[in-house]
Amino acid sequence: MKQVVAGIDIGGTNTVFGLTDRDGNIHATGSLKTGDYSDGEFFIQDLANAISKTLANDFKLVGIGIGCPNGNHYEGTMENAPNLNMKGIVPFVKRFEEIFSVPTVLTNDANAAAIGEMVFGGAKGLKDFIMVTLGTGVGSGFVANGQLIYGHDSFAGEIGHMTIFPDGRPCGCKRKGCLETYTSASGIAKTFIELTEKHNGKKLENITSYDVLLEAENGNPMAIETFDYTAKILGLALSNAVCITSPSHIFLFGGPIKAGHFLLDPLQKYMEEDMLFVFKNKVKLQISELMDKNAAILGSAALSWSSHSFSVSLQKS
């Protein structure tokens, strides 16, 4: 009977899960619409039922790994996630261990992505790097000296909620001007809308970051300027983050990265321009190797496989 863990990624729009073996092979997957749930207990029950239905007779579930926004690794809870309808504290670890009787571990979704990159992706063997995830929000996982940095309360690494403009756009965290309000997928769309209205007097609605990419590919100067503006803000944030942990690499993951050279070329330029001189030309900006490989599932599964429950090294080769 093949041993598998359930890797679960709770996103702002969708929750995806997959049964994954030690080698990163995903044998079954499923999903739920996160936005359909405001009650954490109902969500847990439906998610547990969906996982149970994927367990065939030749699979043995030996663990569960969960990546979620505002995940408290120490407590095993999701706490007041700003972009979800589920509010308050949701005790995922406690409830899943009651339901499945297997060790369950939880962390912030970006931390899970960082662990996934270490175990299954381009960060194998690296001891100092930053993972930045761009999507519904903006998250990050910091690895220093081979260890994921959790901080005293498990909430270290919230690069998306660094204030970029003190009187800037309102954020779901209740503050203003957070990085994610400008560099998330919705932030990119908002910038395009604002620039188009300012320069052309044209009001736009229901625009996505993918629409902005299509416009850029068609030569729309407002779209190209949008990605340049996004890159300038993100480049400054990354150069500041480098000052704290001195990483060798910064890995980028998420839908907006598919903008390719429209975003990545100016991002490299602005990051180096803003970099403290002792770090210049030392940090490699790299796209996650898990971008097209069910990275969310693999990251959460890696979290489980790398936990002490299975005596698997985080630096697995």
Per DSSP bridges, beta strands 77-79 and 71-72 are: antiparallel
For the beta sheet containing 284-287, the strands, ordered from the edge strand earlier in sequence to the opposite edge, are 147-148, 138-144, 129-134, 249-253, 284-287
24 dihedral zone (left: phi>0; alpha: psi -120 to 50; beta): left
Tens of pLDDT, residues 33-69:
999 999 999 999 999 999 999 997 789 999 999 999 8
Q: Please say if the pLDDT value at position 245 is more than 80.
A: yes
Does an H or E element contain 44, and which?
helix 40-54
Give the global pTM. 0.87
Tens of pLDDT, residues 119-132:
889 999 999 999 99
Q: Hunting for tokens 């940090």 — which residue is that?
A: 283
Q: Dig out the tokens for 202 from the structure.
A: 């044209």
Mean per-residue pLDDT for 255-278? Answer: 97
For 167-202, give the DSSP string: TS-B-TTS-BSBTHHHHSHHHHHHHHHHHHHHHH--
How many CA atoms lie within 13 Å of 39's alpha carbon, on the beta-carbon side? 4
| Paired residues of 142 in beta bridges | 130
| Paired residues of 17 in beta bridges | 8, 30
